[in-house]
Amino acid sequence: MSERFEIAFLGTGSPLPNPDRCGAGNVVVAGDTHVLVDCGWGAARRILPSGIRPSVIDTALFTHMHTDHMTDFPDFLFLRWTAGAQTPLRVFGPEGTAEMVEGFLLALRRDIGFRIAHHGDKLHPDGIRVEVTEIPATPEPHAFLDLTGLRCESFEVDHFPVVPAFGYRFSFDGRVAVLSGDTSLCDSLAAAARGADLLVCEAMNLPMMEQRIAGLNAAGMTRESGLLSDVPSYHIATDQIAALAHDAGVGEIVLTHIIPPITNDPGQVAAFGAGMSDVYAGPIRVARDTERVAVVKRPS
């Protein structure tokens, strides 16, 4: 029997407000190993409802330094600590990760002191510590960590002007899952996705986005429409994802970081992925917060 290998989706939204979707966050579960990938607004509060104890997460990865991928990190640190963590959290990410973590810990310094003064040795002093390693940016997958058979590789993606920005490729028990991070269509993502059993890809439905921009313009909200008009330049469209997955021989697509916001209404979900199955024949799903998706070996 194959070992458990799945992705738990903590947050499947974007910076745009959405009552059904928190900011970006995932947990890669491989056997007994749990790796947090990003932790945007609200994502930490989805860990327990996803069936995961925060204290079992000893490793966290970040794709880039956008707020919707990192602002719940302080909440995660405290959830993990108070849930009984006794070892430092190891954090990996692109240049800027150390500065981010240092800033959060500085902001939390007084609170950490208050908790220790109140609870004493009920909270292990190492459980709130963080050890950061910044990973070099490379276009091809770069192996940086092996966790009991879970091979973790990073690769740079095109989210300009956010430089560097990463995607991650995970290999475990003969299966491969790729998490795109935030990116436009780029060769490095296509190469990393080649032969993957599961591609977890950020997704923008361009016709929906254009409709949203036109509505704002019609309402005289030109500043807001102008901001949204900037968004398509550094995100990947659903039709591009379908073509990439087809060419790369991907086994299954899961869409996340949904732009523009949609609810979990089946009609909206179907409309968001409309047309993709005309290009890509494999399974396609739109992820929901707290959903867990198994990485299944693709047909040979």
Planar angle of CA 73, 79, 83, nearest 5 degrees: 150
- Residue length of the chain: 300
Give me the catalytic one of 68, 72, 182, 197.
68
Terminal Cα distance for the chain, rounded: 18
Residues 6+ apart with CB under 8 A from 238: 203, 204, 205, 206, 255, 272, 273, 274, 275, 276
| HSE-up of residue 211 (Cα within 13 Å, Cβ side) | 9
239 included as an active-site residue: no
Nearest to 158 by CA among 137, 143, 142, 176: 137
Residue 240 Cα distances to 144, 159, 189, 204, 236, angstroms: 29, 15, 12, 10, 7
**Active site members:** 68
